[in-house]
Amino acid sequence: MAKLTRITTQKKNKQRYNIFLDRGDGEAFAFSVSEEILVQSVLRKGMELDEELIQTLIEQDDFHKTFTLALNYLSYRMRSQKEIRTYLIGKEVDEEKIEYVVGRLLDEGYLNDSEFAEALVRTRVNTSSKGPVLVKQELIEKGVSKHTIEDALMHYPREQEFEKALKLAHKKFRLDGRTSHREQMQKVQAALLQKGFSSDVIQDVMQELKEDQDGDDDAEWQAVVHQGEKALRKYAAKAEGFELKHKIKGALYRKGFPFEQIERFLDEYVNE
């Protein structure tokens, strides 16, 4: 048996205590414990501890250290169960302690994948340009279950998705007098897909954008002239007549310009 001779508070961590024991050859530091273990075990000066109890206290403290490590990780933001497990694995914590910590965090309300998923969705809706497809993928990567994800995405209503997608579409659409209307529309659609908006919302947004841009023929014509003159400079030294027109027509068509605008450019800018 060992006699507990002294308990001192650690200088760098006031919630941890050093335990000193006398095993018959004088007082010596034996181990340290958290305040929680100290109170639960009712450790006190003069108490006698056998080796089995000492090992139990050390093991309990190891579990508590892991729990504290997880709590610190959670202090920065909410986490999913998978994130906690991945973090602890990275800290080389053994499986038994990980299961203990995750179970305790769940029991004490520190971990809740439903609340985590809902909070993440609301945050992405309010602070990012991500569509629901990307948000769903993010939740999948964080290990959230399919059913929980579906429930959480209810907090990303279609009206907000449409508004966010339309705002992004207007931001991306720029008739600068150099690019065709069709090419700009294709770039916008690609951007919306990349941001994770759903296909039906993208379709509605593109229709509204098209209606907003209809009638802007001046910008389209400026772009035709800009690209047409570039093609003319490129091919004029190698071709003439019908062949030159054919090459310019193909170049402008690939840029997405309408046939009637291409014909107008050829009539006004390319001599026979």
Tens of pLDDT, residue by residue, the chain (272 residues): 899 999 999 998 898 999 999 998 999 999 999 999 999 999 999 999 999 999 999 999 999 999 999 999 999 999 999 999 999 999 999 999 999 999 999 999 999 999 999 999 999 999 999 999 999 999 999 999 999 999 999 999 999 999 999 999 988 887 555 677 778 888 899 999 999 999 999 999 998 887 666 555 666 777 777 777 777 788 777 877 788 878 788 877 777 777 777 787 778 777 75
Instruction: Give the pLDDT score at 212.
Output: 64
Strand order in the sheet with 2-9: 27-34, 16-22, 2-9, 48-49
CA angle 218, 219, 224 (to 5 degrees): 95
Residue of 74, 73, 80 whose CA lies nearest to 145: 80
CA distance 253 to 111: 57
Instruction: Give the pLDDT score at 217.
Output: 62
Q: What is the pTM of this model?
A: 0.71
CA angle 121, 165, 115 (to 5 degrees): 5
Q: Are 113 and 148 in contact (CB under 8 A)?
A: yes
Find the helix or strand (DSSP H, E) in which 221 lies. Answer: helix 217-235
Instruction: Give the pLDDT score at 183.
Output: 82
